[in-house]
Amino acid sequence: MKNIVVPVKNISRLLTASSALLTRTLGTPGMGLIYGRSGYGKTTATAWFVNQCNGVYIRAFATWTATSMLKNILKELALEAKGRSADMVEQIVDNLKITGRPLFIDEFDYLVEDKRMTETLRDIHDMSSIPIILIGMSGVERKVQVRDQFVNRIAQWVEFKPADYADAGELCKQLCEVEVKDDLLRKLYQSSGGVIRLIVIGLDAIERKAKVLGKKSINSVDWGKADFFLSDSPSKKKRGGN
């Protein structure tokens, strides 16, 4: 399996929204929210895009306070935290103004209901004018609505959706080093429920079996009745679990 990021439709939506934020008119809202269920590729797509645009990536934790959030941002900026929270905000804003690097906050679910953290992010956005892209689970788009001043800064909403069959075909074409016949790919796609993570796990298993069999091409008959997924938990069998 090749280790590359495949431009499926979710990534295309991310690129369109991020481009709009990066090229927006100064003074207009510059926040984006990426949301969707686990397994739809949010973190992988975001990590790839962070590298493309030299962004600042922060992963939030349940134990965070506004102060620990600021310290983690400063650490990622290779700056030493100085003074109180207001001083740290100023440090961050000054650096982002100079570099123009967009700020990415993953696991935004941990922050969305904390007014001090969301307002601190709003201050950083307003004072620096740099884009801030937030990444969270499905449902975070509803929780953020109660923060009136904050939600008004969100100009781009990107929902990561289940992969369609064309996405599965593109993943197969670009990742696999063996040919996966259409009958087997369709079987995998149906079993995955459109969850990109499961499609990739299944393609890896298919490729490994093809290599064991010494085949450059593999179909449903070759595959047999084996499970596509290495750790298929009861929740995954319902295809509704995370």
DSSP H or E segment with residue 34: strand 31-36
Q: Mean pLDDT, the chain, as a whole number?
A: 93
**pTM of the full predicted structure?**
0.87
What pLDDT is attached to residue 237? 45
| Residue 33 DSSP class | E
Q: Which residue stretches of 135-225 are H helix?
A: 140-143, 148-151, 165-175, 182-192, 196-213, 220-223
Question: 166: how many CB neighbours lie within 10 A of its CB?
Answer: 10
**Measured CA angle at 231 (ends 242, 41), to 5 deg:** 40
Structural contact between residues 131 and 30, judged by C-beta atoms closer than 8 angstroms: yes
Q: What is the mean pLDDT of residues 34-41?
A: 95
Tell me the pLDDT tens digit for each residue of 92-130: 999 999 999 999 999 999 999 999 999 999 999 999 999
Tell me the pLDDT tens digit for each residue of 154-208: 999 999 999 999 999 999 999 999 999 999 999 999 999 999 999 999 999 999 9
pLDDT at residue 67 is higher than 60: yes
Return the half-sphere exposure (C-beta side, CA atoms, 13 A cut-off) of residue 7: 5
Q: Are β-strands 56-59 and 103-106 bridged in parallel, bridged antiparallel, or unpaired?
A: parallel
Structural contact between residues 88 and 71, judged by C-beta atoms closer than 8 angstroms: yes
What pLDDT is attached to residue 238? 47
For 35-81, the three-class secondary structure string (H helix, E strand, C coil) is: EECCCCCHHHHHHHHHHHHCCEEEECCCCCCHHHHHHHHHHHCCCCC
Rounded CA-CA distance 43/3 in Å is 15
Q: Please enumerate in sequence order all residues whose Cβ is within 8 A of that of 161, keeping only pairs 6 or more positions apart, or say none.
A: 9, 10, 36, 40, 194
Rounded CA-CA distance 69/85 in Å is 10
Q: Which domains does the chain have, with CATH numbers?
A: 9-159 (3.40.50.300), 165-237 (1.10.8)
Band (pLDDT 50/70/90 cuts) for residue 26 is confident
What pLDDT is attached to residue 230? 65
Q: What is the mean pLDDT of residues 9-18?
A: 94
Rounded CA-CA distance 166/238 in Å is 23
Q: What is the mean pLDDT of residues 55-68?
A: 96
